[in-house]
């Protein structure tokens, strides 16, 4: 049998397939600072965004223009006024902002239009749409400082944006808004992205950083507050505003967006209100994923084979660890004829996630469940993992010590090792 030589590409497509399916029709807000727009990687980022759009995701892009505005102010010998890191937008700064935003918007539209018409992108029906989707109000006076035409978002026209997304268009939002009386206001691109994500109930909010992330792959909201990065205040604000998950990506890494969206581990830092990994009771919806985890171990003789029907009948005994909603480990706790003995069975961890103490996490969870049920012993039958269990205080037992139902079903051909662990009775 011939095999494909480049196994990494094959593995990527196999891993990406369920994500391509699950992201189809979902709304992603993707934001990038003006520094990213100026970078040599920006055209590649737009090419990746076009691929994501062609695969069926609905994209709202938000761009910044801080360095572009600063460049125009320097060119015109106009001083830059900041207070607490926020631009004070007087009339000369507003004119510079309008010029910079207009130029940047046209550049992005031009690049994306060119990319969407390339043969490598299935662009039928795809277009790039920008326009007046926001109303704004003045930021006002703080600490005695009048911020002038620096503004805050009053309203996002989410219905109009949704119409464009449903027509398979990419929507481009610029950091400028208008009041009902006709005033223009310079906005924070981060605030535009957060407001759009919230108004559209976006499935993901993604920020591209022009600075190295140097952050853990996953952070909870509370953990994010203990780190320092220019984008973290915006991510924290978004989570506190109700956005469920924020992705921070390093714009200098080629393909970071595709790896983040179409692989389980991603590339960058994910910040969520809840933990990225979750240990919970299994449901019938998990059966296919559990089978994917245990099949290799069954084929290798480590686990006894279970049919889908078998799992369906006994799913209430199973507990799983999920990572980004995908099952990566499982274990089961069964009753025996002896009310004080519970059987730990089907402890399995996906090969890509071994070494992270997930097996210990499941063992601890099953032990606590057994304690709550009044059990004083855990039984395990194993053929190939005896040492792992003995390192965790399991001791060798005999067939005679087995509860009656386990004794009558003992498979002498498998010749499994019988191990017991004493557990403290729950007080």
Tens of pLDDT, residue by residue over 37-76, are: 999 999 999 999 999 999 999 999 999 999 999 999 999 9
Mean pLDDT of the chain: 91
What's the pLDDT score for residue 113?
92
Residue count (the chain): 427
pLDDT of residue 356: 73
Q: Assess contact for 377 and 342: CB atoms under 8 A.
A: yes
Structure confidence at residue 223 as a pLDDT band (50, 70, 90):
confident
Asked whether the beta carbons of 128 and 112 are under 8 A apart, the reply is: yes
Query: Mean pLDDT highest for which of 123-127, 244-248, 371-375?
Result: 371-375
| Percent of the chain clearing pLDDT 90 (strictly above) | 74
Q: Where are the domains of the chain?
A: 7-275, 278-422
pLDDT at 2: 40
Stretch 381-388: mean pLDDT: 93
Weakest mean pLDDT among 168-182, 260-274, 361-375, 401-415: 260-274
Average pLDDT on 21-33 reads 94
CA–CA distance, 326 with 312 (Å, rounded to integer): 18
* CA distance linking residue 325 with residue 317, whole number of Å: 19
What pLDDT, in 10s, does the model give residues 228-256? 999 999 999 888 887 878 999 999 999 99
- Stretch 181-188: mean pLDDT: 94
What is the rounded average pLDDT of the residues 163-172?
96
How many separate helices (H) and strands (E) can be counted in the chain?
A: 15, 23
CA-based end-to-end distance of the chain: 59
As a whole number of angstroms, the distance between CA 72 and CA 244 comes to 37
Residues 385-426 pLDDT 10s: 999 999 999 999 999 999 999 999 999 988 999 999 999 876
305-320 pLDDT, tens digit per residue, is 899 999 999 999 999 9
Spatial strand order in the sheet of 417-422 = 277-281, 318-323, 326-335, 341-349, 377-382, 417-422, 395-396
Contact, 270 vs 231, CB < 8 A? Answer: no
Q: Does residue 273 register a pLDDT over 90?
A: no
Look-up: residue for tokens 């480049």? 6
Q: What is the mean pLDDT of residues 163-169?
A: 95
Query: Going by C-beta distance under 8 Å and a sequence separation of 6 or more, which residues neighbour residue 159?
Result: none
pLDDT of amino acid 1: 33
Domain covering 7-275 in this structure, CATH number: 3.40.1160.10
Please name the CATH architecture into which domain 278-422 falls.
3-Layer(aba) Sandwich (3.40)
Decide: 25 and 150 in contact? Cβ < 8 Å. no
pLDDT of residue 4: 43
Q: Which residue has the tokens 């509370």?
A: 222
pTM of the model: 0.71
Task: Look at residue 122 and tell me whether its pLDDT is greater than 50.
Answer: yes
Region 92-113 average pLDDT: 96
pLDDT at 5 over 70: no
pLDDT of residue 3: 40
Which of the residue ranges 7-21, 240-254, 296-310, 367-381 has the most confident prediction, judged by mean pLDDT?
367-381
């Amino acid at each position: 049998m011939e095999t494909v030589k480049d196994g990494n590409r094959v593995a990527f497509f196999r891993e990406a397939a369920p994500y391509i399916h699950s992201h189809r029709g979902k709304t992603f807000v993707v934001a990038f600072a003006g520094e990213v727009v100026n970078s040599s990687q920006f055209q590649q980022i737009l090419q990746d965004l076009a691929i994501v759009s062609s695969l069926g995701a609905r994209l709202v892009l938000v761009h910044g223009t801080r360095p572009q505005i600063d460049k125009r102010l320097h060119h015109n010998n106009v001083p830059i006024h900041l207070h607490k890191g926020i631009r004070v937008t007087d009339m000369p700064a507003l004119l510079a902002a309008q010029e910079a935003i207009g130029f940047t918007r046209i550049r992005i539209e031009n690049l994306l239009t060119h990319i969407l018409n390339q043969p490598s992108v299935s662009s039928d029906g795809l277009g790039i749409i920008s326009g007046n989707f926001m109303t704004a109000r003045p930021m006002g006076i703080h600490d005695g400082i009048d911020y002038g035409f620096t503004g805050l978002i009053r309203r996002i026209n989410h219905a109009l944006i949704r119409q464009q997304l449903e027509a398979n268009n990419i929507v481009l939002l610029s950091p400028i808004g208008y009041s009902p009386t006709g005033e223009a206001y310079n906005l924070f691109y981060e605030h535009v992205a957060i407001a759009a994500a919230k108004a559209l109930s976006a499935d993901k909010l993604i920020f591209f950083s022009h600075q190295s992330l140097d952050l853990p792959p996953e952070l909870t909201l509370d953990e994010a507050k203990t780190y320092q990065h220019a984008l973290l205040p915006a991510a924290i604000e978004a989570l506190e505003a109700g956005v469920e998950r924020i992705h921070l990506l390093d714009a200098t890494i080629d393909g970071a967006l595709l790896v983040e969206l179409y692989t389980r581990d991603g590339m960058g830092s994910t910040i969520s209100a809840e933990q990225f990994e979750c240990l919970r009771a299994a449901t019938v919806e998990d059966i296919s994923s559990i089978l994917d985890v245990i099949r290799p171990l069954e084929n290798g003789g480590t686990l006894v084979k279970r049919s889908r029907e078998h799992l369906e009948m006994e799913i209430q005994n199973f507990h799983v660890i999920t990572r980004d909603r995908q099952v990566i480990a499982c274990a089961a706790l069964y009753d025996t004829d002896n009310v004080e003995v519970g059987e730990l069975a089907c402890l399995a961890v996906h090969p890509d996630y071994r070494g992270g103490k997930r097996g210990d996490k499941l063992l601890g969870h099953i032990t606590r469940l057994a304690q709550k049920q009044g059990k004083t012993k855990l039984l395990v039958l194993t053929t190939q993992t005896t040492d792992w269990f003995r390192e965790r205080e399991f001791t060798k037992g005999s067939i005679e010590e087995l509860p009656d139902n386990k004794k009558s079903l003992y498979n002498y051909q498998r010749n499994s090792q019988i191990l017991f662990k004493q557990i403290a009775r729950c007080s």
